[in-house]
With several copies, the nearest count.
Chain A
Amino acid sequence: MKKETMRIKSTKRIALDTVEMVLENNYMSQTAVPGQFLHLLVSGHTLRRPISIADVNKTEHTITILFKMLGSGTHDLASYQVGMTIDALGPSGNGFQLHNDNQSTILLIGGGIGVPPLYYLGKTLAQLDMHIISVLGFQTSKSVFYEEKFRALGETYIVTDDGSYGDQGFVTDVLHSVESFDRYYSCGPVPMLQAVTASLKDKPGYISLEERMGCGVGACFACVIPTDDAGGYKKICKDGPVFDAQEVSL
């Protein structure tokens, strides 16, 4: 992990309040693995914003991030223009365990702004000759992004909360229609992850978690998650954000 200056190569709205930004930096692009995140300094803000690495282009030396404009930090970030630079810590945290079982079938389950890290993961796993099935949930039709990109990796189901696009419902509603798979990877809001891990409790799986962060490097104990009832814990910023689905107590 380093502190680097990243240059904005492009920035565009790709869905409702959702921005895709391509950031150029040699070190970050050459070392990032799926599931890691960048801890971005947005000028005028005390705390950095953790944003997942959604894609990497090693030849172009770029990292793609996708973020939703929620509060003031992400709104400010959305106003950054091409050519401006961003101070980033990263690549941060531990990424997804990839395993080497090619030909296996992988289920990606993403909700909303939890979808981005799954894209670079899916792309990487596809390159390792795994079969990718994606189930992606969004609030409404206008929030949907990267559908085509996921379809290019394999079968893709889209659901929306209001049914305005794809099937109406939650990602868990379509899990039964998915053919058998070997392993799942999931990222999204906590209630979704709770439902997913509960309904897939017999399957091996990995989940990526979010928590409000201070340092982002493991020093401040802001982002802990209990691993048991006896005081055991992990730090999401350093030990995570990806955990074995059985490892942490949601």
Chain B
Amino acid sequence: MNNLAVDLPGLQLKNPIMPASGCFGFGREYSEFYDLSKLGAIMMKAATGSERFGNATPRVAETASGMLNAIGLQNPGVESIIETEVSYLANYELPIIANIAGSSIEEYEKVAAAFNETDHVHALELNISCPNVKEGGIQFGTDPKMAANVTERVKKASNLPVYVKLSPNVSDIVAMATAVEAAGADGLSMINTLTGMQIHLPSKRPLLANQTGGLSGAAIKPVAIRMIYEVKQQVSIPIIGMGGITTSEDVLEFLLAGASAVAVGTANFQNPFICPELIDALPHTLKKYGFNTVQDAIGKGITV
């Protein structure tokens, strides 16, 4: 038996490592480096109802052990993604998770319904927390009722399992998690980026054209671990963990905190091979710390 395998709603993962949404496009570029079938799954770049250009540039900044991004959900729109990208990814043996976003509940429903029509998408990741969308997306992410509402509506709009992606920019992450669980979420995905800013000294203004951006990378790992640890104890749906993963020890730390699988974002930019390297390193790391399988390690760091 494969000791890295994990079964989650809609997702039979041969290993628990997948690229995080927005950090891997739709896989094409990284397929030049390695065979995407090696991945546990792929989380596609956010899809919206129609094409979006996103924010002005600069869109990224470097911070201590992290980065800020304010891409602004640039994407070719759900129809084009299904036609061009999903059909391309369907050539690989890996579950596809479609990250969906929008400025209105109707837009979320539309995107969810569209992905529901394809055979190749295995789950939806509901991005209620993108800090860069000014039109409305952000409120869903910090208000339990609104988050529950969009979750419920998206569940109705499609038959696909729904993983709700939580924002860390909240006072009470457990309240957000339990609200979307009650609303029918099949899983959680956490965390999205922390809202941050950098001021560019020479120009004396925010470096990002969008002013604020989402902080990701190793800097935020302690926040991600804390939130997963807190949420895991209060929900019974599985968690896909992310936030600053760069080593197989980090992967194990997320599993111990309660994640059932993990996504890797920013680290792809440093090392395009990070995902396959983590997959290769994980068996040894599990063994080193006394685990036979990924399944064994999930939540084992929780001491209550």
Q: Which residue of B lies closest to A49 (CB)?
A: B62
Enumerate A212-250 residues with CB–CB distance to B below 8 Å. Answer: 212-226, 231, 233, 238
Contact of A41 among B45, B59, B218, B270 (CB under 8 A): B270
Against A, the Cβ 8 Å flags (1 = close, 0 = not) of B62-88 are 110111010100100000000000000
A3 near B272 with CB under 8 A, answer yes
Q: A46-B217, A46-B270, A219-B25 are in contact. Are A214 and B65 (CB under 8 A)?
A: no
Chain A residues, CB < 8 A from B59: 212, 214, 221-224
CA distance A91 to B177 in the complex (A): 44
Q: A45-B62, A238-B29 are in contact. Are A215 and B268 (CB under 8 A)?
A: yes
Chain B residues, CB < 8 A from A152: none
A221 near B271 with CB under 8 A, answer no
Against A, the Cβ 8 Å flags (1 = close, 0 = not) of B134-175 are 000000000000000000000000000000000000000000
A–B Cβ pairs within 8 angstroms, 25 of them: A3-B271, A3-B272, A46-B63, A46-B65, A46-B66, A46-B217, A46-B266, A48-B269, A89-B272, A212-B59, A214-B59, A214-B60, A215-B23, A215-B25, A215-B29, A215-B272, A219-B24, A219-B268, A220-B23, A220-B60, A222-B59, A222-B60, A223-B57, A224-B59, A233-B74
Besides the known contacts A213-B60, A214-B59, A238-B29, 14 further A-B residue pairs in the complex with CB atoms under 8 A apart: A46-B62, A46-B63, A46-B65, A46-B67, A46-B266, A47-B269, A211-B58, A212-B58, A217-B29, A219-B29, A221-B25, A222-B69, A233-B53, A233-B74
A219 near B66 with CB under 8 A, answer no
Against B, the Cβ 8 Å flags (1 = close, 0 = not) of A145-180 are 000000000000000000000000000000000000
Is residue A195 within 8 Å, beta carbon to beta carbon, of the partner chain? no
Is residue A1 within 8 Å, beta carbon to beta carbon, of the partner chain? yes
Q: A89-B272, A220-B25 are in contact. Are A212 and B60 (CB under 8 A)?
A: yes
CA distance A211 to B58 in the complex (A): 7
* A40 CB, min distance to chain B CBs, angstroms: 11
B217 near A231 with CB under 8 A, answer no
A interface, by DSSP: helix, strand, loop or mixed?
loop
Q: Which residue of A lies closest to B66 (CB)?
A: A46
A47 near B74 with CB under 8 A, answer no
CA distance A46 to B222 in the complex (A): 14
Against B, the Cβ 8 Å flags (1 = close, 0 = not) of A191-224 are 0000000000000000000011111111111111
Is residue B92 within 8 Å, beta carbon to beta carbon, of the partner chain? no
Query: Which of B22, B45, B52, B57 gathers most chain A CB within 10 Å?
Result: B57
Q: How large is the interface on A (under 10, 10 to 19, 20 to 34, 35 or more residues)?
A: 20 to 34
A214 near B271 with CB under 8 A, answer no
Q: Which residue of A lies closest to B51 (CB)?
A: A231
* A51 CB, min distance to chain B CBs, angstroms: 15
CA distance A3 to B33 in the complex (A): 8
Q: A213-B60, A215-B269 are in contact. Are A231 and B33 (CB under 8 A)?
A: no
CA distance A48 to B266 in the complex (A): 11
Against A, the Cβ 8 Å flags (1 = close, 0 = not) of B249-293 are 000000000000000001011111100000000000000000000
B33 near A47 with CB under 8 A, answer no
Name B residues whose Cβ lies closer than 8 Å to a Cβ of A: 22-25, 28-30, 32-33, 45, 51-54, 57-63, 65-67, 69, 71, 74, 217-218, 266, 268-273
Chain B residues, CB < 8 A from A217: 29-30, 32, 272
* B222 CB, min distance to chain A CBs, angstroms: 12
A214 near B53 with CB under 8 A, answer no
Chain A residues, CB < 8 A from B62: 45-47, 73
* A32 CB, min distance to chain B CBs, angstroms: 17
Enumerate A39-98 residues with CB–CB distance to B below 8 Å. Answer: 41, 45-48, 73, 87, 89
CA distance A213 to B29 in the complex (A): 15
Chain A residues, CB < 8 A from B218: 46
CA distance A211 to B60 in the complex (A): 9
Contact of B71 among A1, A45, A221 (CB under 8 A): A221
Q: A46-B63, A219-B30, A231-B51 are in contact. Are A214 and B57 (CB under 8 A)?
A: no
Chain A residues, CB < 8 A from B23: 214-215, 219-220
* B281 CB, min distance to chain A CBs, angstroms: 16
Chain B residues, CB < 8 A from A214: 23, 59-60, 67, 69, 269
Contact of B57 among A1, A212, A216, A238 (CB under 8 A): A212
A221 near B54 with CB under 8 A, answer yes
* A46 CB, min distance to chain B CBs, angstroms: 5
Chain A residues, CB < 8 A from B51: 231
